[in-house]
Amino acid sequence: MGTFSIFEAGPVAQQERTDSAVAASERSLGALWGSLFREDRFFLVLSVFIGIFSGLAVVCFRFTIDLCRIYLLGSGAQPSTLRLILAPTIAGLVIAVLVIHVFPLARGSGVNQTKAALFIYNGYIPLRTAMGKFITSALAIGSGHSLGPEDPSLQIGACLASALGRRMKLSRERMRLIAPVGAAAGLAAAFNAPISAILFVIEEVIGRWTAGILGSVVLSAVSSVVVMRWFLGNDALFRIPSVEMKHPSELLAYAVLGIVGGLASVVLAGGIKFARPRCKAFAPWTHYFQPALAGLLIGIIAAFGAPQVMGAGYEYMDQAIHGQFTWQFLAILAVLKIVATLLSFVSGTPGGIFAPVLFIGAMLGAAVGGVEHVLAPNLVGSPGTYALVGMGVLFAGFLRVPMTSVFMVLEVSQNYSIIVPVIVANTFAYVISRAMDDTAIFDVLTRQDGLELPSMEEQREESILRVEDAMRPPVKRVLETSDLSNWSARSGDQKAPDVMLVRLKPSGWSSVTRKEIESTGNEDPSGAKLADLLANRQIPYLHPDQPLDVALRYVDRWPLVPVVSRADFSKLEGVITQEGVLERYRDSNLE
Amino acid sequence: MTEASKRFHFPSLEFRREPLTLFLLTGLAIILVAIVALFSRLYHAKLESLAEEWSSRGSADLDAHHYADAVVDYRTALLYDRDNDSYQLNLAEALIGHNGKDETDEAATYLINLWDRQPENGTVNLELARIAASKGQTDRAIRFYNNAIYAIWPGDQEQARHTVRLELIALLMRIHSTVQAQSELIALADNLGEDPPAQAHAAGLFYQTGDYEQALNEYRVSLRGEPHNADALAGAGQAAFKLNQFRLAHRYLRDAVFLRPTDKDSAQLLKLSNLVLQMDPFRQQIRAVDRERIVISDFAAAGNRLKSCTVTGVNSATATRQQSLQQSWNKLKPQVTGRGLRRNPDLINTAMSLVFQVERAGNDACGPGSDTDKALSLIANLHEGL
């Protein structure tokens, strides 16, 4: 350990005093230094850097997508037919070659790859994947494939974090968590929405709330958003016109939107479930042409009057929010975007699904709002509000992330006045989607890729076994310390159970076996020695509401664990045994 | 080296690793930020140049009234600079020029967004007023027009406000909000200054709202600066004619017809005013003989009117009235002579009263009649009120 003493040398006594002071100072500084750079704290600092690097990467990614679009499709808002057809087709060919030969892990959206890094590969994602994702996704989105930049940004963030963690030689536990930290940073920068990114990573990637990881995720998300805003400005993703709810009964109209959105989510998810494995199952040589074919078909759709379906389509969502399309055209756009997104996604073109989902939601929402406005002009407000709510609806129904969907709408719009319609519509969409389709889309994709990752939705909905589920009624023999003498006298009682609980005074529990009573019965007729022994041999107790996992820590050491009331520790609610716990787990598996 | 300095050492290696890492990470972050900043500058410069390129195309198309092309151009420009107010305003103007319902709605959306940011912008308020007016939302239109009048305008503020107020007045007149239109006109006239054509235009608007007195005043003011403005002379003549100031009307109309002989309306009014002046027996500074001659002439004209306007039908109230007037005229006819009028000067009033009744009944039954009849009706209005 080093020293930081600045004292002058002096007489011996003073020198000794000084030495001891210096030693204390060294110890305290060392402790402070050590505490500052303890791995958990250093991890927090590292999270800030992960956020900064991810933010910078996402900014570059956004610039690259835009430049690709300008150079591939032209700078005009209405590209020529030739460009509309050729750009996504040729880009598709190039992307296929890159994905097959150079960046095989760049395929897909990126969310599952990040989950796989967390649960399978100990946080390892090759940096090459980030490069591949960056190049191929920018090319795909810029050339007009119906994909978005959010999921790739998430994966790029996770890759950078993983690379940084490896460089820092973090422990395996930290390495596992570092990918989600980077993912939150990437997603936050892509959406300009830190809260939604944090919630998404917690809700869909990690699946649990823990203080240790939450701090890092928050720090990385916030720092990436700061970087992103530095370069791209503070504006929200969409410019929201004034939104208002005309009357509480308008919530009925939003509920209808939720139902329609839920059904659309099922259609989109069903399309992916059906077509993706079939596309993958085609002969390997076809994989070179699948993205190109998807690009060609999307180009044809665009050339036939719907160029809005190309790319992420944020500017068109903005126009839908501002009521610049008729409801008929909005409905057509929603349908065509579903088709275009299916084509792009199932062909294995790298790119995200978030933006297309938002697009479909916005168009569908505005269309439903428009129809409702025609049918009930006094009930329904601006279709723009419905477009905004529609985004959340599809997000909730398709991605099955109910909390994220609500906050995402609020954050991208920077408008909190529509929270009630958003919650109502999203709930309907989520419930319908959940009822009509058992498996969430990310779980489907995982299984199609041959992986078995934990399903966050199933985890959320899984009922936790508690102590009360395995608890048995209070044993017949619960002894007070005062009873010990009587029991000692009647030690030959063959009906007594093998193990008995003893309620200690003033508080606490212990257990005693019949053999112990029998063996001490003659030497200690009053039971006083036994009582002393038991007082020093207290056993742990449980409460009925505690998770059953907690009981596992005790049941192998103590054959009988008391379950007591939280209000009165001396009141026995039941007992837990190892056999009972295992039996309950066995039953729950059978269920 | 002192003892103290000998004893001062740096932390050992294991404690130096993390600070060094932090230092390196900070350095790396700074370098990356600098690189991305450079990339960002290039990127934004590219977008800026594209925005300007498309905006100048849009401007050219807008000037050439190629609204559809201008819409595309400005939409593209806004892709690269979405918050540019000028592009948004020009796009809105192009959309309004394109003049489809959807385009107008989109224009309104852009303009409302602009208005949220710049409620004091005159052009934005004016365009919003025009859109509201085209949709029949008159209250909203009036509110935006009023905003535009008091808004900030580039260039000549007074001229812009004048133009806006004129549009507002036109709207108010279209919706027959005459009182509001007249009050706006008064405000307009107050701010005109020495501008004879504008004053003549304002006078014309006063005339259209039915405020003939203000119209005549404005025409007079205008004619002071531009005495040979045929339009103003004609307008002044018409206003004076409406005010029954036939001598004044005659003077203005005579000059107007002199300056522009093709002005048939003024010529007709001049003829009528001339007749009124000739056929009015109650005009001042007239000799008794002339008055008697005019009364006899007017009485004879009334007789002709009765003959030319014959209403048939036994039960018709108009026919009964005509018959009654014919009887009265026949009864009075022998008395309406030079001698009779000299002997009984009150007969002048009696005869002229009958003439006026005949002309009014003729107007009701058969329309305005000849110029003489029209002149007699005007004289009746002048002396007996409407």
Q: Considering only CB atoms, which chain A residues are within 8 Å of B9?
A: 2-3
CB B214 within 8 A of CB B240: no
In chain A, residues with a C-beta closer than 8 Å to the C-beta of B40 are 59, 63, 231
Q: B220: Cβ–Cβ under 8 A, 6 or more apart, which residues?
A: B236
Q: For B155, left (φ over 0), alpha (ψ -120 to 50), or beta?
A: left
Q: What is the pLDDT of residue B338?
A: 81
Helix (H, G, I), strand (E, B) or coil at B280: coil
Rounded mean pLDDT, A343-355: 92
Interface test with B, best of A231, A316, A382 (most B CBs within 10 A): A231
Predicted pLDDT of residue B288: 83
Span A414-432, mean pLDDT? 89
| Residues A57 and A130 sit within 8 Å (Cβ to Cβ) | yes
pLDDT higher than threshold 70 for residue A33: no
When pLDDT is cut at 50, 70 and 90, the band that residue B7 belongs to is very low
Using an 8 Å CB-CB cutoff, list residues of chain A that contact chain B: 1-9, 22, 30, 33-34, 37, 42, 45-46, 49, 52-53, 56, 59-60, 63, 66-67, 70, 75-78, 168, 227, 231, 235, 239, 241-242, 315, 319, 322-324, 326
Nearest-by-Cβ selection for A324 from B46, B72, B106: B106
- pLDDT band, very low/low/confident/very high, at B12 (cuts 50, 70, 90): very low
Judged by average pLDDT, the poorest of A349-358, A504-513, B25-34, B206-215 is: A504-513
Chain B residues close to A5, C-beta within 8 Å: 4, 7-8
- B346 CB within 8 Å of a chain A CB: no
pLDDT in the model for residue B311: 66
- How many other CB atoms are there within 10 angstroms of residue A540's CB atom? 14
A2 closest CB neighbour out of B11, B50, B112: B11
| pTM over the 0.80 mark | no
Size of interface A-B (CB pairs under 8 A): 95
Nearest CA-CA distance, residue A243 and chain B, Å: 13
> Cα separation of B16 and B26, whole Å?
15
Q: What is the pLDDT of residue A54?
A: 95
Q: A193 in the Ramachandran plot: left (φ > 0), alpha (ψ -120 to 50) or beta?
A: beta
CA distance B149 to chain A (A): 25
pLDDT tens column, A140-181: 999 999 999 998 999 999 999 999 988 888 888 888 888 889
Using the predicted structure, report yes or no on whether residue B5 has a pLDDT greater than 50: no
Instruction: State yes or no: pLDDT of A573 exceeds 50.
Output: yes
The mean pLDDT of A552-561, rounded to a whole number, is: 87
Interval B120-165: pLDDT, tens: 888 889 888 988 888 888 888 999 998 888 888 888 888 888 888 8
**Interchain CB distance below 8 Å, B15 and A37:** yes
**What SS3 state is found at B113?**
helix
Is residue B166 scored above 50 in pLDDT?
yes
Residue B8 pLDDT > 50: no
* pLDDT for the residue numbered A363: 94
Q: Residue B356 in contact with residue B376, Cβ under 8 Å?
A: yes
What CA–CA distance (Å, rounded) separates A187 from A110?
A: 11
Average pLDDT, chain B: 84
Please report which confidence band the pLDDT of residue B233 belongs to, taking 50, 70 and 90 as the band edges. Answer: very high
Higher pLDDT, B49 or B359: B49
Q: How many CB atoms lie within 10 A of CB B221?
A: 19
Nearest CA to A512 out of A492, A485, A533, A486 is that of A533
Chain segment B305-316, per-residue pLDDT in tens: 888 877 665 557
What are the C-alpha distances in Å from A582 to residues A3, A239, A548? 56, 57, 10
Q: What's the CA gap between B321 and B308, in Å, rounded?
A: 15
d(CA A136, CA A98): 7
Distance CA B98, CA B102 (A): 10
How confident is the model over A39-46, as a mean pLDDT? 80
Query: CB-CB: which of A3, A76, A323 is closest to B109?
Result: A323
CA–CA dist A565, A568 (Å, integer): 5
Whether cis (ω within 30° of 0) applies to the bond prior to A506 is yes
What whole-number distance in Å separates Cα of residue A25 and Cα of residue B73? 72
Whether residue B1 is predicted with pLDDT greater than 50 in this model: the reply is no
**DSSP assigned state of A474:** P
Q: State residue A265's pLDDT score.
A: 95
- Phi, psi torsion values for B353, nearest 5 degrees: -60, -40
Rounded to whole angstroms, the maximal C-alpha distance in chain B is: 152
Nearest by CB: A2 against B10, B29, B53: B10
Q: Provide the β-strand partners of residue A480.
A: A503
Provide the pLDDT confidence category of residue A298 given band limits of 50, 70 and 90.
very high
What confidence score (pLDDT) does residue B15 get? 47
String of b and e for B317-341 (b: at least 16 CB within 10 Å)?
A: eeeebbeebeebbeebeeebeeebb
Tokens 């959010």 found at: A150
Give me the pLDDT at residue A30, please: 58
Q: Does residue B3 register a pLDDT over 60?
A: no
Closest residue in B to A31 (Cα) is: B15
Three-class secondary structure of residue A502 per DSSP? strand
Interface predicted TM-score (ipTM) of this complex, two decimals = 0.76
If pLDDT is split at 50, 70 and 90, which confidence band does A494 have? low
Please report the pLDDT score of residue B10 as a whole number: 43
- Confidence check: pLDDT of B36 > 60: yes
Residue with tokens 């954050």: A411
Is residue A110's pLDDT more than 60? yes
B-chain CB neighbours of A78 within 8 Å are 72, 76
Question: Rounded to whole angstroms, what are the CA distances from B385 to B356, B377, B382?
Answer: 11, 10, 6
Chain A residues touching B113 at Cβ < 8 A: 239, 241, 322
Cα of A585 vs its chain's centroid, Å: 27
